[in-house]
A and B are shown apart, each in its own frame.
Chain A
Amino acid sequence: MNRRVVITGLGAVSGLGLNATTFWQELVAGQSAIKPLNLPIEDIKISIGALVPEFDPENHFSSDDLTLLDRFSMLAVIAAREAVCDAGLCSGEDSITQAAAIIGSGCGGKHTDEATYDQLYKQQRTRAHPLTIPKGMPSAAASMVSKHLGIKGPTFALASACASGSHAIIQGCTMIQSGMVDVALVGASDAPFTFGLLKSWEALRVATHDTCRPFCADRSGIVLGEGAGMVVLESEQHAKARGARIYAQLAGCGMTSDAGHITRPDVTGISSAIINALDYAGINPDEVDYVNAHGTATQANDIAETAAINQVFGDRAKKLAVSSTKSMHGQALGASSALDLIASTLAIYHGIVPPTANFTVADEHCDLDYVPNIAREQEMDVAISNSFAFGGLNSVIAIRKHS
């Protein structure tokens, strides 16, 4: 890498709470946010999920602002505000005005779109609400983050299903490396608890009624979550010049596509992405301490991911701490990949590996150390965060302790 990129600000809204502090506390405590949904929607078989708790939009936005904010945009802006503040930056200063904002999403403004479609299709209304397009468009969250934070640099949305946040973070990283910007606010947001989307996930038959148990023999599928993860990235030079606290170095990234099955993961696609991230960072596999796994708890992912880790790391694989924080914040689609990177960053920074919660007994094909149920204090130099999306889009980020 020509210009070192560092992580200086974190913002996390998830089922675990409305900020990164709560997010980390709950992860370390092994607390799962997965609960009965009790949504006022009939005829939904999906009965559990990780909803953002005690969330009242009016505590965060004026009524005027709320007319233009889909739920996924609200979550994005709240996490973005936290990340910028956490980085010690403020709206109005050049660092923020000139920054980039790359905001991913797996599903975009579904609350808005579905409300309008419900009116048109189900209630036979003749006109759509006029703000449906600006609120529901996939780039709405990027625009709202830009507006609310005063970011006027390169700003756009990015979509790669459940890897959207990871790809957005990598996009921001490469923009800093190229010299295009010094600061990038990057991440993703998703709010998938809508009738149409829940019915669609239900039809895929990958959602469990039990809970999320990654890598376990009795795992039975994913649990949906909602939230937003935002990260402030900076060139090391820029961060040092202003005396910023540095959580970790974003050391490398690897991206591949399976060019194959639309939902089934491919071991080679995954292992290639991990290898590319390590090569990019100049990291030897023996230097890696922790893997924040994609770990969705589907039959296919957990076996393929374990096989890929074994393939890349060889004997080192058994010495790695591997955990899936989705067991606690759920599969919040694109937002999950950003939340996973935040978990990895805080793991390196605090020297604590968050566990895989809800763990029972490992699957016979899952033979790694998944840090079951209890967090572990462990000094770490290097971690990788895995994110693999439907459509075969793989993204891996390597981070290194900053010194």
Chain B
Amino acid sequence: MALDKVAEIIAKTAHCKVEDITPETKLEALGIDSLKAITVLFELEEAFDTEIPNELISSISTVNDILDRLGTANC
């Protein structure tokens, strides 16, 4: 599932457990600041072989937002 992969990538940067990450989790709550966020996005782009445009970044707040941007919210 896409959520599993996304959670794994976020957990690596946030140094938290994968199980602690749900679609509703806010990135800010995991201590992901703007610098860590671009690292997460880089890893996501690599893993999903896609591109997340800069214009969409400001609207990303939760894990679900990421899944939306990846077009995989329902995977």
> Interface on A for B, CB 8 Å cutoff?
63-64, 67, 127, 129-131, 134
Contacts of A64 in B (CB 8 A): 15
Residue in chain A with minimal CB distance to B39: A130
Contacts of B41 in A (CB 8 A): 130
Contacts of A130 in B (CB 8 A): 35, 38-39, 41-42
Task: Find out whether the CB atom of B15 lies under 8 angstroms from the CB atom of A63.
Answer: yes
**Bound: A196/B41 CA distance, A:** 28
Contacts of A129 in B (CB 8 A): 39, 42
Interface size class of B (residues with CB under 8 A): under 10
Shortest CB-to-CB span from B56 to chain A, Å, is 16
Q: Is B4 among interface residues, defined by CB-CB distance under 8 A? A: no
- Interface residue SS majority, chain A: loop
**Bound: A130/B39 CA distance, A:** 6
Shortest CB-to-CB span from B66 to chain A, Å, is 16
Residue in chain B with minimal CB distance to A68: B35
Task: Find out whether the CB atom of B45 lies under 8 angstroms from the CB atom of A127.
Answer: yes
Task: Find out whether the CB atom of B39 lies under 8 angstroms from the CB atom of A67.
Answer: yes
Interface residues of B in 36-57 (CB under 8 A from A): 38-39, 41-42, 45-46
**Bound: A63/B13 CA distance, A:** 9
Shortest CB-to-CB span from A204 to chain B, Å, is 35
Say which residue of B13, B15, B35, B46 sits within 8 Å of A127 (CB atoms).
B46
Contacts of B39 in A (CB 8 A): 67, 129-131
Shortest CB-to-CB span from B57 to chain A, Å, is 11
**Bound: A309/B15 CA distance, A:** 56
11 additional A-B pairs beyond A67-B13, A130-B38, beta carbons within 8 Å, are: A64-B15, A67-B39, A127-B42, A127-B46, A129-B39, A129-B42, A130-B35, A130-B39, A130-B41, A131-B39, A134-B35
